[in-house]
């Protein structure tokens, strides 16, 4: 049964504690990466057979497999994929940046050049369940950014093929190269390249503890988005919330993974007790009861705060991946929220809406890093170069200032590199 506690009765470090998803996999991940670097495709095949129970042949998805997947998914689901893709594209198109030039006196030109990252790797999980939604969330912002080469990796099913829904989503998103490999070995392949899998410059997408640790270890060789942990939701709810709906929203998060976290913060003990009862009732009829129950009993909690102001303070301290404001007039509380990955406003905006259809990204900062990190966006797929142009007269006008600054830092060579241009 989920725990109920009053805020202030338990030390914050215990109340806000999160489960460690890494489980000390650092050494094994390092071994996997080294193996892929040394043995390439053969290592990918051996490791996929060991961890996924299948030896995919070929490693890359063929056009025939794409065609079979499109024929296998029901038309209604294909239409939903297309609708979701349109919404995601409409939202992320607003994030696109433009290069700029600013002009100063004496012909000075300063500017910033926006360039899409040339080669990007997209990781799509397929463990306890397939995630075609993640394909859309990873790929569409990259397409909008203009990335010319996108490579997707995802674990194969037991039949040696990729889940049809994932491949259908890849086609809808415009991804043509998909490889049947997952886990730390897939991250290693994207970072270092193999005979089949091309090396990329950046890797994005969520995954399990092995994937997260592999991304951490290859960072520096390539860029990454974030090191993602188990998924989480925090709901701030007042007494006017329906206990059955709040419980359902919490279980929607809990069914992801045994390590997922679902938290309710409320100013109503009556609601807390009703939600506790509802969670137990709904768990008994949930198809993924075993997973959701482990999540709820090990990581879930209900915190009763003295008022909604305190509840928002608690949310800001936890900095959840998903934050639901299930309150009257949710927009009046929006400015008080400082730390959250994605915010769901009101009683008719469940997390599932954001997971699939609304448009904002569902690849989000977890584990409290929403205090300084952001959702996946078009910004993740671009890089910025700045440029400077001075005429000789413009440089002459600031040469003495530059020399003074350089000499204050005891860098005479810097000063001379400027002044030498104006020697007679």
Last residue of a domain, one of 193, 224, 255: 224
Query: Is the pLDDT confidence value at 129 over 90?
Result: no
Report the pLDDT value the prediction gives residue 23, as an integer from 0 to 100.
56
Report the pLDDT value the prediction gives residue 341, as an integer from 0 to 100.
97
Task: Report residue 193's pLDDT band, with 50, 70 and 90 as the boundaries.
Answer: very high
Whether residue 108 is found in the same domain as residue 193:
yes
Report the pLDDT value the prediction gives residue 10, as an integer from 0 to 100.
78
**Greater pLDDT, 10 or 336:** 336
What average pLDDT does this structure show over 104-116? 96
Domain count, the chain: 3
| Predicted confidence (pLDDT) per residue in 310-337, tens digit | 999 999 999 999 999 999 999 999 999 9
In a domain, 18, yes or no: no
Task: Report residue 11's pLDDT band, with 50, 70 and 90 as the boundaries.
Answer: confident
Query: Is the pLDDT confidence value at 362 over 60?
Result: yes
Report the pLDDT value the prediction gives residue 14, as an integer from 0 to 100.
72
Which strand (E) or helix (H) includes residue 261? strand 261-266
CA 269 to chain centre: 34
Report the pLDDT value the prediction gives residue 147, as an integer from 0 to 100.
97
| Predicted confidence (pLDDT) per residue in 139-165, tens digit | 999 999 999 999 999 999 989 999 999
In a domain, 1, yes or no: no
Alpha-carbon distance of 126 to 51, in angstroms, equals 12
DSSP letter at 95 equals T
- Residue 112, beta-bridge partner list: 100, 386
Report the pLDDT value the prediction gives residue 201, as an integer from 0 to 100.
98
Task: Report residue 348's pLDDT band, with 50, 70 and 90 as the boundaries.
Answer: very high
| Predicted confidence (pLDDT) per residue in 268-288, tens digit | 999 999 999 999 999 999 999
Whether residue 170 is found in the same domain as residue 53:
yes
Q: Which of 332, 326, 357, 190 is nearest to 245 (CA)?
A: 326
Last residue of a domain, one of 224, 251, 283: 224
Assign 3-state DSSP to the chain and report helix, strand, coil percentages, each to 5: 45, 15, 35
Whether residue 173 is found in the same domain as residue 111:
yes
Question: Are 414 and 133 contacting, i.e. CB atoms less than 8 angstroms apart?
Answer: no
In a domain, 288, yes or no: yes
Work out whether strand 342-345 and strand 322-326 pair parallel, antiparallel, or are unpaired: parallel
Alpha-carbon distance of 8 to 379, in angstroms, equals 39
Alpha-carbon distance of 130 to 124, in angstroms, equals 9
Whether residue 211 is found in the same domain as residue 245:
no
Give the angle 117-228-337 at the CA atoms, nearest 5°.
95
What average pLDDT does this structure show over 373-380? 97
CATH number of domain containing 82: 3.40.50.1980
| Predicted confidence (pLDDT) per residue in 200-254, tens digit | 999 999 999 999 999 999 999 999 999 988 999 999 999 999 999 999 999 999 9
Query: Is the pLDDT confidence value at 20 over 70?
Result: no
In a domain, 3, yes or no: no
In a domain, 385, yes or no: no
Q: What is the dihedral sign for C-alpha 337, 341, 345, 351? A: negative
Whether residue 63 is found in the same domain as residue 182:
yes
Whether residue 123 is found in the same domain as residue 169:
yes
Whether residue 237 is found in the same domain as residue 305:
yes
Query: Is the pLDDT confidence value at 18 over 70?
Result: no
Report the pLDDT value the prediction gives residue 419, as an integer from 0 to 100.
97
Last residue of a domain, one of 224, 257, 279: 224
Q: Pick the catalytic residue: 92, 256, 322, 362?
A: 322
Alpha-carbon distance of 378 to 145, in angstroms, equals 6
pTM over 0.85: yes
Report the pLDDT value the prediction gives residue 24, as an integer from 0 to 100.
82
CA 320 to chain centre: 13
What average pLDDT does this structure show over 343-364? 96
DSSP letter at 155 equals -
Whether residue 212 is found in the same domain as residue 234:
no
In sequence order, what are the residues at sequence separation of 6 or more whose Cβ sits closer than 8 angstroms to the Cβ of residue 163? 126, 130, 132, 154, 157
In sequence order, what are the residues at sequence separation of 6 or more whose Cβ sits closer than 8 angstroms to the Cβ of residue 31? none
322 is catalytic: yes
Query: Is the pLDDT confidence value at 127 over 80?
Result: no
Task: Report residue 378's pLDDT band, with 50, 70 and 90 as the boundaries.
Answer: very high
Whether residue 261 is found in the same domain as residue 131:
no
Query: Is the pLDDT confidence value at 21 over 80?
Result: no
In a domain, 8, yes or no: no
DSSP letter at 60 equals B
Q: Pick the catalytic residue: 65, 232, 278, 321?
A: 321
Task: Report residue 19's pLDDT band, with 50, 70 and 90 as the boundaries.
Answer: low
In a domain, 17, yes or no: no
Structural domain span for residue 351: 230-372
Whether residue 43 is found in the same domain as residue 96:
yes
Whether residue 153 is found in the same domain as residue 251:
no
Alpha-carbon distance of 122 to 139, in angstroms, equals 7
**What stretches of 159-243 adopt beta strand conformation (E)?**
177-180, 202-204, 223-224, 232-237
In sequence order, what are the residues at sequence separation of 6 or more whose Cβ sits closer than 8 angstroms to the Cβ of residue 306? 7, 267
Query: Is the pLDDT confidence value at 75 over 90?
Result: yes
Query: Is the pLDDT confidence value at 180 over 70?
Result: yes
φ and ψ at residue 121, rounded to 5 degrees:
-105, 135
CA 242 to chain centre: 30
Q: Which two tokens stand for residue 73?
A: 């998914």
In a domain, 380, yes or no: no
Whether residue 281 is found in the same domain as residue 197:
no
């Amino acid at each position: 049964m989920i725990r109920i506690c009053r805020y202030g009765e338990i030390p914050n470090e215990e109340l806000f504690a999160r489960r460690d998803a890494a489980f000390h996999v650092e050494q094994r991940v390092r071994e996997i990466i080294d193996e892929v670097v040394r043995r390439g495709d053969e290592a990918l095949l051996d490791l996929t057979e060991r961890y996924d129970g299948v030896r995919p042949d070929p490693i890359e998805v063929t056009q025939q497999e794409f065609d079979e997947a499109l024929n296998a998914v029901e038309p209604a689901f294909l239409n939903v994929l297309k609708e979701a893709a349109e919404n995601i594209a409409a939202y992320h198109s607003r994030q696109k940046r433009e290069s700029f030039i600013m002009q100063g006196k004496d012909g000075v030109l300063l500017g910033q050049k926006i360039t899409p990252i040339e080669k990007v790797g997209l990781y799509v999980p397929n463990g306890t369940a397939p995630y075609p939604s993640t394909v859309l969330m990873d790929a569409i912002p990259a397409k909008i950014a203009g990335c010319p080469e996108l490579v997707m990796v995802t674990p194969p099913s037991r039949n040696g093929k990729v889940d049809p829904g994932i491949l259908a989503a890849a086609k809808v998103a415009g991804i043509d190269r998909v490889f049947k490999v997952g886990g730390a070995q897939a991250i290693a392949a994207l970072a270092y390249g193999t005979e089949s899998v091309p090396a990329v410059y950046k890797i994005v997408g969520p995954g399990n503890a092995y994937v997260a640790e592999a991304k951490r270890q290859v960072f520096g060789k390539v860029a990454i988005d974030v090191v993602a942990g188990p998924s989480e939701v925090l709901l701030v709810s007042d007494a006017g919330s329906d206990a059955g709906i709040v419980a359902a929203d919490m279980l929607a998060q809990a069914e992801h993974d045994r390590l997922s976290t679902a938290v309710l913060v409320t100013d109503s003990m009556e609601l807390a007790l009703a939600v506790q009862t509802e969670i137990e009732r709904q768990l008994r009829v949930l198809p993924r009861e075993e997973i959701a129950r482990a999540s709820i009993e090990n990581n879930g909690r209900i915190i009763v705060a003295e008022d909604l102001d305190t509840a928002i303070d608690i949310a800001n301290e936890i900095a959840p991946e998903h934050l639901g404001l299930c309150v009257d007039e949710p927009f009046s509380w929006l400015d008080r929220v400082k730390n959250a990955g994605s915010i769901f406003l009101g009683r008719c905006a469940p997390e599932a809406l954001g997971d699939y259809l609304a448009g904002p990204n569902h690849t989000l900062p977890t584990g409290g890093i929403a205090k300084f990190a952001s959702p996946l966006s078009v910004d993740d797929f671009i890089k910025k170069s700045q440029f400077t142009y001075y005429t000789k007269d413009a440089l002459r006008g600031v040469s003495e200032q530059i020399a003074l600054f350089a000499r204050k830092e005891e860098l005479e060579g810097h000063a001379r590199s400027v002044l030498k241009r104006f020697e007679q």
